């Protein structure tokens, strides 16, 4: 038997031996009940990583604003650095171009076009399987497995990834419908509150009031908890006059669309920065000091990864931490 026949026979034997392992793994995934979809996503992605021995498995959602990384699992159990994991630079766009077929890359280094791709050059992705997740005829996301080493993906491996993708894609479709329904209800509640409650705006500054903040948190925290997105808080105290009112309006106008500046009353103001770390909020602290001078400033982080914050639907403790900075020790502002 020549070498090519031996290689082909070995590959077929390997595929056959891995197929029962994949089927057993799938059985473990679908047999238990998963009342929480997040648990299903986490277990499914961990299963892909452990079965294929790849660096990571990731689910990316496609929105009107671009790609959004929703769930992931890594081989070493470490977190995924979302600041460096950019689906646009990865092979996600190629998956969409390749749709409805599964994109399989066994070794990007051996492909003339792929070895110059940013996924290989900047993110060290050498092997990759990407499956489009569909809602009817529309692609709503991508499930991918990727590794920094070449992989001899077999037919059984590719079918296994596709089957897990079909299962998680169906769960994702249901979750998105639930989220849309929840957000519609919250938007309706907010609209009704605006109509019924004139106290949503502070008369002195025309900024959202504490009452508005309470309603806003109900809508925002639901999604932030599900996506494990932190939120930075910056508070400061300043007397109200023509100049400070103008400065407040400028900060509000320059904020991102998802940020919220609130008049907390008694000349205290709070800026909420979704999806922002304390380091990321530092430039806002500098902006506050530049506009208002050496005023007391406090910062805090609401982090859903912290059980205490996750279960605090009023962010009471995070607010308390932010307000502590408004009472600095004597000489701290000198």
> What value does the CA radius of gyration of the chain take, rounded to a whole number of Å?
25
- Distance separating alpha carbons of residues 128 and 118, to the nearest angstrom: 13
The token duo for 224 is 């932030």
The whole-model pTM stands at 0.53
Query: What are 72-92's pLDDT values in tens digits?
Result: 999 998 888 776 788 989 999
Among the listed residues 92, 89, 114, the one whose alpha carbon sits nearest the alpha carbon of residue 103: 92
User: Cα(303)–Cα(93) distance, rounded to whole angstroms?
Assistant: 31
Rounded Cα gap, residues 221 and 303, in angstroms: 11
And the tokens for 25? 């793994």
Show the tokens assigned to 96.
């969409």
pLDDT score for 238? 93
DSSP for residue 293: -
**What pLDDT is attached to residue 8?**
42
Phi, psi of 28 (to 5 degrees): -65, -30
Which domains does the chain carry? 3-179 (3.30.450.40), 197-324 (3.30.70.270)
Q: What is the pLDDT of residue 83?
A: 67
Place of tokens 């900060």: 251
Question: Over the chain, what is the mean pLDDT?
Answer: 82
Element (H, E) at 3: helix 3-30
Query: Which portions of the chain are predicted below pLDDT 70?
Result: 1-36, 83, 179-199, 328-334
Q: So what's the pLDDT on residue 261?
A: 93
Smallest CA-to-CA distance from 226 within 172, 268, 264 is with: 172
Backbone angles phi, psi at 151, to 5 degrees: -130, 135
Q: Are 59 and 70 in contact (CB under 8 A)?
A: yes
The pLDDT of residue 125 is: 95
Residue 132: per-residue pLDDT: 94
Q: How high is the pLDDT of residue 1? A: 46
pLDDT score for 3: 44
Q: Which residues pair with 298 in a beta bridge?
A: 235
Give the largest CA-CA distance in the chain. 91
Of 170, 172, 262, residue with least CA distance to 220: 262
The closest of 127, 164, 132, 159 to 53, measured between CA atoms, is 127
pLDDT the model gives residue 2 = 46
Determine the Cα–Cα distance for residues 174 and 161; give it in Å rounded to an integer: 20
């Amino acid at each position: 038997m020549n070498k090519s026949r031996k290689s082909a026979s070995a590959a077929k034997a390997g595929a056959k031996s891995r197929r029962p392992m994949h089927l057993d793994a799938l059985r473990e995934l679908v047999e238990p009940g998963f009342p929480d979809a997040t648990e299903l996503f986490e277990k499914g992605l961990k299963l892909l990583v452990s079965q294929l021995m790849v660096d990571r498995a990731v689910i990316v959602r496609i929105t009107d604003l671009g790609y959004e990384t929703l769930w992931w699992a890594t081989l070493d159990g470490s977190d995924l650095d979302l600041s460096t994991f950019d689906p646009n630079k990865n092979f996600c766009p190629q998956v969409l171009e390749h749709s409805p077929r599964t994109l399989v890359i066994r070794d990007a280094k051996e492909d003339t076009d792929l070895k110059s791709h940013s996924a290989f050059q900047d993110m060290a992705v050498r092997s990759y399987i990407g499956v489009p997740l569909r809602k009817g005829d529309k692609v709503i996301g991508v499930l991918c497995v990727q590794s920094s080493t070449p992989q001899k993906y077999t037919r059984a491996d590719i079918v296994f990834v596709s089957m897990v993708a079909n299962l998680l894609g169906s769960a994702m479709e249901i979750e998105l419908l639930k989220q849309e329904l929840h957000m519609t209800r919250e938007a309706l509640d907010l609209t009704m509150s605006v109509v019924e409650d004139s106290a949503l705006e502070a008369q002195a500054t025309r900024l959202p009031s504490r009452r508005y903040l309470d309603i806003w948190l109900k809508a925002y925290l639901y999604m932030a908890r599900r996506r494990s997105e932190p939120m930075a808080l910056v508070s400061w105290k300043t007397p109200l006059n023509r100049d400070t009112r103008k400065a407040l309006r400028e900060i509000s106008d320059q904020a991102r669309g998802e940020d919220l500046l609130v008049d907390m009353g008694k000349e205290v103001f709070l800026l909420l920065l979704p999806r922002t770390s304390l380091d990321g909020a530092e430039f806002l602290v500098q902006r506050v000091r530049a506009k208002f001078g050496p005023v007391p400033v406090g910062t805090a982080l609401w982090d859903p990864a912290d059980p205490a914050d996750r279960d605090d639907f009023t962010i009471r403790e995070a607010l308390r931490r932010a307000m502590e900075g408004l009472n600095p020790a004597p000489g701290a502002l000198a």
